[in-house]
A and B are shown apart, each in its own frame.
Chain A
Amino acid sequence: MLEVADIVAGYGRVLAVQGVSLSVAEREFVALVGANGAGKSTLMKVLSGLLAPKSGSIRLGGRELAGSGAEEAVAAGIVLVPEGRMVFPRMTVLENLLLGATNPRARKDRERSLERVFALFPRLAERRGQLARTLSGGEQQMLAIGRGLMALPRILILDEPSLGLSPLLVQETYKALQRLNADGLTILLAEQNVRLSLAVSTRGYVMEHGRIVLAGASAKLADDPATRKAYLGL
């Protein structure tokens, strides 16, 4: 469904992404793993339309989206839950969620989406009137994911959702993602937490210095001697 080919991108003359190709099929759960600085976040920014690539193509359902901006990407169905969550701090939980459903396709189903998100994260329903900045880190992550779901994504992309969360909350977040995937949501997950992200995903890519160096079934990658040595410390 998502076809990414030969993406080259970066800020100024530094090319953090140097010719990345990857694909995600409908209903798949794909992990993109790699160390800090491997270029994952830059690639996520390109996919979400925040950053225009220098070259390469991004196709969703056959439609070319490279360089056409975030508004187009969201309208087409690529939705990013960004690193650091980026909730709107001085707005309530409810307002944050409503903003998620800005694109015209999602706006029509806003009320129904809201019920779904509240069912998935009952904590958000309890705190709907609270300002987002008063939430705990785990709750903010729920809010960021919930807000992403409000956009009715065809593919949900998450950048380091485990960052800054306690192991228990990371487990909880991942369980929620697995449930969403089981319900039919296509997910691309960029993570430094290699062990966990390969455990929940079906397929994975390993990124290093702006390039994909390994790809395959997550279980296989987790067993691969190179991955084990470099990322799992085994």
Chain B
Amino acid sequence: MPIDVLLQATTQGLLMGSIYALVALSLTLIFAVGGLLNFAHGDFMVLAMYAAFAVLAAVGVDPYLLAVPLFGLFFLVGTGLFRGLVRPVLSEGLLVGAQLTLGMVFVLQNAMLLIFGGDHLSVPTVLSNRNVAFGTVILPLPLLVASAVAAILSIFLYVLLMRTDFGRQVRAVTQNRDAAALMGIPIVRVQAKAFGLGIGLLGLTGAFLVAQFTLTPSMGLDLTLLALIVMVFGGIGNFLGCLGGGLIIGVIEGLGTLFFGGTVGAMAPYVALVLVLLLRPHGLFGEH
């Protein structure tokens, strides 16, 4: 195996990994504040991609320009969903919450199927089909941009959670809800904002990722599963673990594809997950 090829696969894996990390971070954020496992996570991102496609088709605005508006829109959708649907079932336990988000998967996937049809779609952006060469490593520009944005957002999210009043309040709600209430923290408002932020980031990421994927309405669940793997890999609820887990999973997927081809390579993250769970049940970076 020539070293260039290894380097190419590893670099591309790291770039995909930073995107996985961001998706897993937003999944963790949603899980942290209310104990809700959002199975519709990937579908919200796919919805953002289709929205970007629709706007491009209708008025010709490049998907990259839609990132910020989609963030705002999805933030509002997220807070609304939290207050209307999620909050009433939160106290009913993990399973009822899982049923709710699985229900959202069906609603979202079928709505997209109904509106956009089941054909595979490629969405061009201004950066499509451009590559950048670093020595022998050649990287698609859209991937480079998407992963740079994901890395910046991950760091931003991490700083927000660890260094600001809002972040401290989110962590307080996560660690002890009653104690958080005794501090005078507006629990529901903090939960709704965190939920909105988690969904909003998917809107933003979707706009940056749209050039990277061939769209089909059913692809969301794969993204959710990868994010779940990263989350479990890094230790559930561990924000720093998500960052590390995302990068590792990206590289494993990249190298797996290189050595074993696309189909078997796509299984590599799952194999890695099983190994980690066997050896370190609390995740690679988990405590206990």
Contact = CB atoms under 8 A, between A and B. Distances in A.
B59 to A, nearest CB: 44
A82 B179 contact: yes
Nearest to A133: B175
A99 B172 contact: yes
A89 B165 CA distance: 17
Nearest to B179: A86
B168 A50 contact: no
Interface in A141-200: 147, 151
A26 interface: no
Contacts of A79: 182
Interface string B143-185: 0000000000000000000000100110110011011111111
A82 B178 contact: yes
Contacts of A82: 178-179, 182
Contacts of A98: 165, 168
B186 interface: yes
Contact of B184 (A74, A89, A91): A74
A152 B5 CA distance: 62
A99 B181 contact: no
A90 B240 CA distance: 14
Contacts of B186: 71
B178 A71 contact: no
Given A98-B168, A99-B169, A88 B179 contact: yes
A48 B183 CA distance: 10
Contacts of A89: 175-176
Q: In this complex, which of B168, B178, B183 has the most chain A Cβ atoms within 10 angstroms of its Cβ?
A: B183
B185 A102 contact: yes
A39 to B, nearest CB: 18
A69 B176 CA distance: 17
B172 A88 contact: yes
B172 A70 contact: no
A102 B181 CA distance: 10
Interface string B68-83: 0000000000000000
Contact of A151 (B169, B179, B183): B183
Contacts of A75: 184
B182 A74 contact: yes
Contacts of A73: 184
A97 to B, nearest CB: 11
Contact of A48 (B169, B171, B172, B182): B182
A16 to B, nearest CB: 17
Given A88-B175, A91-B175, A70 B169 contact: no
Interface in A80-99: 80, 82, 86-91, 95, 98-99
A100 B171 CA distance: 14
A125 to B, nearest CB: 19
A151 B184 contact: yes
A50 B182 contact: yes
Contacts of A130: none
A140 B185 CA distance: 21
Contacts of B179: 82, 86-88
Nearest to A150: B183
A88 B171 contact: yes
A107 to B, nearest CB: 8
Contacts of A49: 181
28 contacts: A50-B178, A50-B182, A70-B182, A70-B184, A71-B181, A74-B184, A79-B182, A80-B182, A82-B178, A87-B179, A88-B176, A89-B175, A89-B176, A90-B175, A91-B171, A91-B175, A95-B168, A98-B165, A98-B168, A99-B168, A99-B169, A99-B180, A99-B183, A99-B185, A102-B165, A102-B169, A147-B183, A151-B184
Closest 8 pairs between A and B when the two form their complex, measured CB to CB? A74-B184, A86-B179, A103-B184, A70-B181, A88-B175, A102-B183, A102-B184, A99-B183
Given A79-B182, A98-B168, A103-B184, 16 more contacts: A69-B181, A71-B185, A71-B186, A71-B187, A73-B184, A86-B179, A86-B182, A87-B179, A91-B172, A98-B165, A99-B168, A99-B185, A102-B183, A102-B185, A151-B183, A151-B184
